[in-house]
Structure formats: structure tokens, C-alpha cells
Structure 1
Amino acid sequence: MKRFNIFLSVGMLMVFLSSCSKDFLDRMPQTNISEDMTFLNVKDLEVYTNSMYGMIGPNYSDGFSDNIAGLSGSSTTDNMVRSNLTVANAGGWDDWKSLRRINFMLQNVHKTKGDAASINHFIGIARLYRANWYYKMVMTYGDVPWYSAKIEENEEELLMKTQDPRTLVVDSVMADLEFAAEHIKPDGTNTRITKWAALTLLSRIALYEGSYRKYHTYLKLDQTSNVFFEKAAKAAKQVMDQGGFDIYNTGKIGEDYRALFSSTDLSANKEVIFYKKNSTGEGVANNSHTVFDYQWALSKDLMEEFLMKDGTRFTNQSGYDKKVITELFKDRDPRLAETIMEPGFKTNPELPVPYILKPTFGGYLQVKFYPRDPSIRLGWDLNYTDLPIMRYAEVLLNYAEAKAELNDISQADLDVTIGKLRKRVGMPNLVGGSVTVDPILAARYPNVSSNKAVILEIRRERRVELAAEGFRANDLNRWYVGQLFAENPKGMYVKGLGAFDVTGDGKVDIAILNSKDDVTPIANLPEDEKKDLVIYYLSENVIYLSEGTKGHILFARDRDQKREWKGDYYYYRPIPIQQTTLNPNLKQPFDWAK
């Protein structure tokens, strides 16, 4: 029987990556790779590594995290916190064919003839993808078997090995990334892996590992955390000093931020380090319109973390917790209206009326990544906006956080990181010497001790700037605050049952009632207003209000299928039982064996 699902023939591998440019590197490669591929020249390496590009892609959702309120789908974490995940029904652990593909090249590259720098460039790309693949496994399972070469079916001892310790695997990952950062060439389009993409990934992974070791003290690796913070800061600083990137800022407050996520051409954007090109001409598209009122909405907690435009806290406002949706956007950080739908938003400028939200997801609809131009939003998998994979803003945030965790951050560091991000949206910089501890953030992240006020504000900036880009769940994991996955999210505030305005024009748009049998709250409305109302009933058991007939929207599913964070083993996922049956030497992470 084939173990680990890694025995797929390399002859089945297809070079499938495409971007859209006339340059060879940006065209769909046409060559298939088979077991007898000999990697005789650099062009062979180039063609082969093209097949790896799909292993790192864009993300336009924060999935199951505290950034999300209502969610119609499910996830492994969702199932876990509702006590529905077991070793018997767990998935995953099944993508070893991707590792095999990478190791196949690395094992045969000694045959390649040509310029050494060019050969090392493509070796670096392969090692970057191996590092990324392995670190995702570490984030999911902790200890995993490390394989640096393609394993054959007759290599029984290797196939049946147990996991290697996290420290060995992470050291190997860092060696791969450091090789990649040293040898991948700095030039090339931003649809390709460059030195700067390698350094960005190095800073990302090193920051994760440093945080994980510092805050997950049960691992007894916290004394080594600074090594990784230093690597993260060093890699980020190299991008900052040598990469030629900058925060996209033409002076159009709000619009410049929006352009990063809804543009049809990011090729010349100096903030974009690596992106996926989509094009009608090449027939390459995405599904980013689904972020808007389709499967989820964003959370009250996320909304409240956006500051006022003058840099003060929204949560310092009188009655902040009871402001209705038409009151939330006034004098706020402009990124709020580029992330969550502001009343008056239209999906098409030519429409006579604004979009009317549905409260069943909570009301805070995601507009970040939504293609604003209807002409490029043509249907399922037919959106033609370019999607960023790595951008300079993350590099700045990685640097600021790593330096703060090292207790070595200066005002100059804040100026060139947080300051640049806030300047883009017309907001004042973070002044480290005068910042005070936000009690709400302190309660959210209770294990932050040294340099507390600054670290909390950097975490705020990271959450706001990178919202809906797929970072949040990993951040909660590495900061050791998994209990936030188990908190019931909230949506918008409703002053009481009845009809109310959600578009900001002063006219009622929707109503929330207890049931179809009780229309008393709208009985006195004029008929011309009543006939256009969209009515939602609490009796349909989708949403309810936190105070009965008023309050924040909560979700019946969270009430009926309670969330719970049961312990440290929830930071990992179980290995599927069929895999541990095939290889009894594999051990379940932490307490999953129980």
C-alpha cells in the first residue's frame, strides 16, 4: 500500500503555472516533466520550477478567526472548537506529492550544466517552496518527518520513520530560506519569485517562529525566540534598505489602499512584491467577488479596533458600544470604509439605490478585495483583478513587531513602518514615548508583558492593515491566544425591534422582528415605507440579539453549538487515523492521541 500519499509518479506532474505577459517567464509553460527528466540545462530548471508557483497564492479572507462574524461555511478550526474534530474524521497530511516534486529536482540538479548563479537561482526557488511547504506542516502538526530527498517505495525505513522534532525541521526550513534569499536573483517581474519575495517569506516565517517559541512556553523553547526575531528583523530591513519598494501613496486617501486589492494592473505598483496576474486575454481570473455578502461578514471586534482619524481610540468614544451602523464611519481611519461596507455603498455606481445589507451575517460586509468595476466582475471565477501575495506593508509590520519583541524599537523605526502606513490614510504616526496601554487590547492579549503598550499598538496596526489577507488566524496561534477562536463573534448594534436605516439616507430599509406573527414594531409605518422593507425574523433561528429585543447581532449556531478552547493541543491538528494506521511510528500531536 502506498504510504503518506507520496508515491504519485513524477510523470503525472504537469507544469501548470500561468501569468499573463509576453515574456517567457510569464507565459503558461507547455512542457510536461517526467521521471526521466535529466535537468541538463538551466532552461530545464526554469521550466520545472514554474510548476511550483501555485504552491503560494493570494488570500482574500480571514477564514475562521475573530475577524469574522457570521460564516456560512465551516473549517477545521470551526469543527474543533465545537468539539466535532477527531482523529477519525480529520483530513490533511495528504500533500506529500508537492514535497516529492520539489525534492525530485533538488536531488537531480547536480546534473545541470550552465552558469552557477543561474543554477543556484532556481535551486533557491525550489528550496523556498520546500521551506514554505514544511513550515505550513509545522504550523499544523508541530513535529513532522523531514525529508530532503525523494523517497522511493522500497525505502521502508524512511517511509516508516517517526516525526523529527520541531527544532530540526525549523532549522532546516531556515537554512532553505537563507539559501533562497542569498541566491535568488533580485531582478524580475513581481509575478515571479525574486530575492525580495524570499526575504519577505523569511521575515514572515522567522517572526512566526519567534513568537511561537516566546509565548508557547510549554515547548520550553522561549530562550531561543530572539534568534528568530533577529532573523525576521534582519530580512525585513534588507527589503526596506535595498528592495526599492515603498507604500503606495499618491495622496488619494482611501483610494490608494483600495487600489491594492481591486486593481486590474499591479505590475508597476511599488508596494507589491509578488502577485497573481489575472487577465481576460489570458483567461485567468479569480472569485474575489464572493467576499461581499456571500459566505461571511466581518466582526464587531475588528471594526472597533480601527482608530479615529485623529489617532485616538474608537473605544474611548462615549457610547461606542451602542453606535448603529450609520454612526460608525464618521471620522474613522479611512481603511475602515475600505474594509467594511460603509452605508451608501453601491456595487454599481449607476444603480439608483445603495446596497442594502442583510443582517444574517452580522451586517459588517467585507468590501476589501471586492472588484468595484462591474465590467471586470463577470461571475463565478470571472473576476479580473490582480491579487497581491506579498506586499511591502507586511514587511514593515514584520520589522516593527520583531524589533518591539526584541525591546529594541526606536521612534525612527516606528516612523518608517507604522508611520508610513498611517501617512497613506492621512493619520498621525504612532509615538512610542507617549502611547499608553489600551485596556481592551491588554485583555485580548494578556500574555504581553515587556514593551506592552507599543507591542499592543503594533498588533492593532497589523490587524487593521492586513485585515482579510489571511494572516489573522496564524497571528492568534503564534501569540498563544487561541481562546479568541472560541469567543462568540458579534455583529452590528440594533437599538430595538422594528425598522431602521442601514444605507444612511434617513429612510428605513430593513426590519428585524421576533416573528411573522408579531408585526407590532412596524405597525405604524406608512404603507409606502412598509412595502419596500426587507424583513428578518428572529424566529428563523439564524440570528438573535444580545439583549433580547435589542443589542448586538449574535448567531444562533454559536448559541446552539457552543465553542470551547480545550487546551494547548488545540494549537495543532490531528493526523488522520488512516495515516497513523499505515505508519504506526507517527505520533499524534500532544493530546490528540487521547
Structure 2
Amino acid sequence: MRSLKYILTVGASLFLVACNDSFMERYPQTSISEENFFNTPQDLETYTNGLYEILQYSTDDVYSDNISTYSGSNEWDNMLRGKIDEKNVGGWANDGRPDYVNGSHSDWGTLRKCNVLLVNGYRAQGDESEVKHYVGIGKFFRAWFYFSQIKKYGSSPWYPKPLQTSDVDLLEKGQDSRELVVDSIMADLQFAAENIKAIESRTRINKWAALALMARVALYEGTYRKYHTELNLQGTANAFLEKAIWATNEIMTKGGFEITGNGAEGYRNLFISGDLSGNKEMILYADYDRTIGHGNNTSSVLDWQWHLSRSLADSYLKLDGTPISLDPSYAKRQFTQIFEDRDPRMAETIMPAGFIASGDVQAKKVNPTYGGLGQVKFYPRTQDLNGGYGKNYNDLPIFRYAEVLLINAEAKAELGSITANDINNTINLLRNRVGVTPMDMGNLPNDPVIAAQYPNVTGANAKVILEIRRERRVEMACEGLRTDDIKRWCVGELMERPSEGMYIPGFGPLDITGDGEPDIAIFKTPADNNLSGEDKDKLTVYTLFDETGKEQGIYLSEGDKGYIRFVKDKNIPITFIAPKYYYYPIPFTQVQLNPNLKQPTGW
């Protein structure tokens, strides 16, 4: 079977023209029609190659409270600042009316591709298990599409088949209930898990990837229903949490996966390796390869448009397993000191003092403009893997075993059934890898900071839930899950807090590379710059105001000292309107075209 890197490189589309020679001899034409295709399992494999472009995976947490600020444009950020409504929002259809029939120029093209396979796949003659394997892959991708719809809109019309122009009632229907759509997603994933083969390839959809997606969906839906009382579905939440436990148990007991590596390097290599094929933590990953010119843009995670937040940095425990909020010595530490005696994952996620970027010989200076806490997770460290924009060749995880363990622990904690043995088999495997003291259910810290972040977590099991959430946040940081977590836990108010970067003890020169010599200087205005001699030429200077008195983008939380904050947050603050901002509006033009579509809750 071909690997994901090949599939993504050829850019296969709905009806593939990149077929094998024997097929082209039978049907010498430039496109493939439903009538003359889907005859063999090999045809089904060829078709499913075009579905892999649906897969999405992230190397950042834009936009969430894990980042400090973002200089680009992000739709959720714009919505939270009152700039987005149903009249200017994107999505649903890229342009004009959603093309449910042809699937072109529309979000719905993804769904049509899946449904074409699902209604035609059983025509294939051959080994029944092979046919079901590829039908299962089609169901996996349909579930992936609809899960995205649920997360974005709360519900969606469910279409189990490709539509024709004659299907007027279906074309003009409104959303089906959230319950129907989610139950249908879970049914698709159950079929996928039962019929997709447990193949050895980790760049192709396999049984374990289907179970991992099932677990992710089930945890999302179970916790969403538990904490979002506006749905009136709390009574159905536990069934999804139980399903998350079942799916993760299948992977944990039968999949043969492991938490790999030791210390900081073991964690780092999950994200910067040029070859993850032998890594036993990978359930599914994207394979990038210089030899065929298939690269990614992971070098842009460092200093392009964002940095990471103080909130994320403060989440990392000390090596003894205690939070820094309980240690007064950590209050207002300078940048060069914040990594001392901390969880090694912190310095593999946030750029530490002394970090040398690929191709450089001197330590990189932090950039206060973005807050000073640069992201190094996913940043390729060697020049053979870091060739610049579009020419990075580190493999990227899509599903990894650590997430499975975290899902298992969280679902059990939410149900109140978690035990010390469960913690040892999940959370403590992750802590053991990096040398952080294991979690002890009988001796959990009373951390006021994390308790304030999640005020809706109460009861006898609250502290273990909070610590599992902490572990998830630091282990999975920058992997694109944080925004979904904020939404499903119903804590959107976290986004209202002024985002902060590193601590600045006062105006003047600062050592931020850890060599004892100043590297940058921060002044209130250009007129305050009193540098002279060598420092004047050597140091990179930043000011809070320009010569005209205009703010330059950052300020300090205590005026002449404090944590870096951002003028954007002061001038256009976020006001989180719940439950409205947990959903995106459907574009007004689409509701005009189909009045049966209803806006999500709050819109």
C-alpha cells in the first residue's frame, strides 16, 4: 500500500486520473465515471487515495489561550472581538450556493466524495473483507467531515448518499438534530473500526486510527453534553464517555503501541524526526520526504506570527510534580530562569534561553513583539530537514498513543470511575518519559490557578479532573486540540483574559540568551534609550511607543515592569458571549437560499 506522502503528493481528486496501467487499458479516458469504476478492491483503493486530502493536522494552537498573540487573521479571534457575524463569515460554501450535487466550490465536496464511494463500493467483486476495508475508510472520512461540522455549527444536514438534482427535498432540508448526526458519526466509526484492517502502515488509515478518531469524537461529545447545559443532553453524556473508554481500551490492550523515548529528547523526537516509521507511539502520521519534494512549513512555528502564552508556560509543573503557583520563588522570574527545575516538555515546546536555530551559530534572541515565548515544538533542528518555507521534512503525528491515554484517563475521571492503577497506566506513563514525579491520586495539589480556569469542575473528583486537564494541555500543546478543549469544557471565558508573554523586570538592557550578557533592551520611548558605546550597536532595541507617542503593540502589565501584554487586547478586548461563540454562524446568503437552515444557538 502506498504511503500518505505519496497520496498527498499526487494530489488525487474525486475521480482520479492517476490509475494503474491495467485500469487505463480497460478504460482509456481522462476521467473515471461511477458506472465504469468500483469493480475491484484495487479500484476502491485507488479511489480512497483521493480522500486523504481531507485529513487535517495542526502544528499550532492558533487561536486559543495557548498563544500570546497572533499577527495574522483568524476567524474565531475576529468573531470573539465582534468583527464576524452571519453577513461576513466564511464557510459552509466557498462561493455561491452549496453544491451538494457536484461538490465543487463547496465545503460539501468532501462529503460527496465519501458518499460516492459508500454507495458504489459494494459493487466491487473480490474479497469481501477487502471491500469492507475500503468502505470502512470511506466511513472514516465521512465521520471526519461531519465531526468538523458538529464542532463548528452544532449540527448539520445528514446526507447518507450523493445527491442528485432531482433530490429537491433533501437539497432544501434544514439541519438534522445534533443527536442524529453524532449517532451517525459513531455508527460510521463503529463500522470502520470493525472492518478496516489492522495494517502495519502508519501512513494509511488503519483499524487503530478509526478507534482513535472514535475515542476523540466520543470524549468531545460526552464532555460537551455534560458541560453545555443549553443542549439539555446531560443525560446522554455518560454513554459517550463509556464509548471513549471502550475505544481507548481496544487500542491499549490490542494495538501494541508504546510511549517511546526518554527525557526531553524522547518527547522532542516525536515532532522533529525525519522518519517516524519505527516509532511505536504513532497510530497515524504524515510522512514528508525531500526526495520527492513533499515538504511542510513547520519552520514557521518559530517567530512567524505568534508566540506561546504565559498561561501555557505556567501550566508546566516542577520536576517534583507540584505547580509553580505554590512556590513563591517562581513569581516574576525572568525569562532565563523560568525553565529551571521544570517539566522538560516546557523547553521542548517554548524556546528556552540559549536555543540555537537551524543554520545559526549563536543563540536566538527572543522577540518581545510577540511576547517572547517562541514555539519550538515542531521546529526542525537540522538543516537537512529545514530548508525554509515549504521545504521542511519532519514527519507529523496525526494520532499518537499519548492522546489515547489522555482520553482514557479523562473519560474515567469524568465518570468518577478512575483509579490509581488507571493513572499509572495513562498519565504517569507520560510523566515517567520526561522524569516528572508521578501523579498521586491521594496527594493532589490544591492549585488555585487551575481551579480558577475551570470553575465548572466541582465535586469530589474535581482535583483529579483538573490535573488530567493540565497533563493534556502540556502533553498535547501546539497539536491543534486546545480550542476544541476550551469549547467542549464550556470555558470560553478563558479567552477574555488578557494574554501575556514573558516577565520584564524593568526598562533597560536584558539578558535573554542566558550567557550573562545583555542581548536586547526595552524602553518606554525612543527618547529613553540611553545606550552608548558597544551596547548601542549590539543590542536589539524595542520601545513601547514610537517618536510620535503611538503605541507599538505591546505594554507591560505594571506600567514600567511586568508581563508583556498586547495593545490589541486592550483596544479591542474579547467579550465571550455564551453559548453563541461556541458556534459559528451560517452565512446569511446560505440561509436566504435555504430558509430551512437555522442559525446555531445564539445567532
Structure 1 length normalisation: TM-score? 0.93
Cα deviation, 1:220-279, whole Å, max 9, x if unaligned, reads 101111100000011001100000000012x3x100100000000000100011000000
Residue 157 of structure 1 and its aligned partner are, at CA, apart by: 0.8
Maintained 8 Å contact 2:198/2:207: yes
**3-state SS in 1 of match to 2:130:** helix
Look up the match of 1:105. 117
Residue 320 of structure 1 and its aligned partner are, at CA, apart by: 2.5
Structure 1 distance, partners of 2:289, 2:6, is: 7
Alignment of 1:215-230 (within 5 A): 215-230=227-242
Structure 2 distance, partners of 1:238, 1:288, is: 32
**3-state SS in 2 of match to 1:536:** strand
Look up the match of 1:396. 405
**3-state SS in 2 of match to 1:376:** coil
Look up the match of 1:53. 52
Look up the match of 2:505. 495
Residue 37 of structure 1 and its aligned partner are, at CA, apart by: 4.2
Look up the match of 2:294. 284
Confirm whether residue 30 of structure 1 aligns to residue 18 of structure 2: yes
Residue 488 of structure 1 and its aligned partner are, at CA, apart by: 1.7
Aligned residue among 98, 122, 126 for 2:134: 122
**3-state SS in 1 of match to 2:182:** helix
Aligned residue among 557, 564, 587 for 1:576: 587
Look up the match of 1:557. 568
Maintained 8 Å contact 1:33/1:48: no
Aligned residue among 334, 340, 348 for 1:338: 348
Residue 20 of structure 1 and its aligned partner are, at CA, apart by: 4.8
Structure 1 distance, partners of 2:291, 2:475, is: 32
Residue 533 of structure 1 and its aligned partner are, at CA, apart by: 0.8
Structure 2 distance, partners of 1:180, 1:375, is: 38
Residue 405 of structure 1 and its aligned partner are, at CA, apart by: 0.7
Residue 154 of structure 1 and its aligned partner are, at CA, apart by: 2.2
Maintained 8 Å contact 1:311/1:428: yes
Moved more, 569-578 or 318-327: 318-327
Maintained 8 Å contact 1:18/1:29: no
Alignment of 1:105-254 (within 5 A): 105-249=117-261, 251=262, 253-254=263-264
Aligned residue among 513, 529, 554 for 1:543: 554
Residue 18 of structure 1 and its aligned partner are, at CA, apart by: 4.8
1:139 partner amino acid: K
Residue 582 of structure 1 and its aligned partner are, at CA, apart by: 1.2
Residue 90 of structure 1 and its aligned partner are, at CA, apart by: 0.7
Residue 391 of structure 1 and its aligned partner are, at CA, apart by: 0.3
Maintained 8 Å contact 1:476/1:482: yes
Look up the match of 2:104. none
Look up the match of 2:528. 518
**3-state SS in 2 of match to 1:244:** coil
**3-state SS in 1 of match to 2:164:** coil
Structure 1 distance, partners of 2:505, 2:575, is: 29
Look up the match of 2:22. none
Residue 514 of structure 1 and its aligned partner are, at CA, apart by: 1.3
Look up the match of 2:602. 591
1:126 partner amino acid: G
Residue 436 of structure 1 and its aligned partner are, at CA, apart by: 3.5
**3-state SS in 2 of match to 1:274:** strand
Give identity over the alignment, percent.
Answer: 47
Maintained 8 Å contact 1:17/1:53: no
Structure 1 distance, partners of 2:33, 2:347, is: 50
Structure 1 distance, partners of 2:358, 2:122, is: 56
Moved more, 109-118 or 502-511: 109-118
2:5 partner amino acid: S
Look up the match of 1:379. 388
Structure 1: gaps spanning 5 or more residues: 1-15
Alignment of 1:451-530 (within 5 A): 451-519=461-529, 523=530, 527-530=533-536
Alignment CA distance shift 1:138-1:65 (3 Å): same
Maintained 8 Å contact 1:497/1:512: yes
Look up the match of 1:19. 5
Maintained 8 Å contact 2:555/2:565: yes
Residue 379 of structure 1 and its aligned partner are, at CA, apart by: 1.4
Structure 1 distance, partners of 2:527, 2:443, is: 56
Residue 319 of structure 1 and its aligned partner are, at CA, apart by: 4.3
Confirm whether residue 534 of structure 1 aligns to residue 540 of structure 2: yes
Residue 535 of structure 1 and its aligned partner are, at CA, apart by: 0.5
Structure 2 distance, partners of 1:29, 1:278, is: 23
Aligned residue among 437, 440, 456 for 2:446: 437
Maintained 8 Å contact 1:199/1:239: yes
Structure 2 distance, partners of 1:200, 1:268, is: 19
Maintained 8 Å contact 1:20/1:278: no
Aligned residues: 566
Maintained 8 Å contact 1:347/1:355: yes
Residue 378 of structure 1 and its aligned partner are, at CA, apart by: 0.8
Structure 1 distance, partners of 2:445, 2:317, is: 14
Structure 1 distance, partners of 2:327, 2:511, is: 22
Look up the match of 1:67. 66
Alignment CA distance shift 1:531-1:392 (3 Å): same
Maintained 8 Å contact 1:286/1:381: yes
Alignment CA distance shift 1:58-1:68 (3 Å): same
Structure 2: gaps spanning 5 or more residues: 20-30, 94-106, 547-551
Moved over 4 A (4+): none
Look up the match of 1:6. none
Structure 1 distance, partners of 2:600, 2:3, is: 34
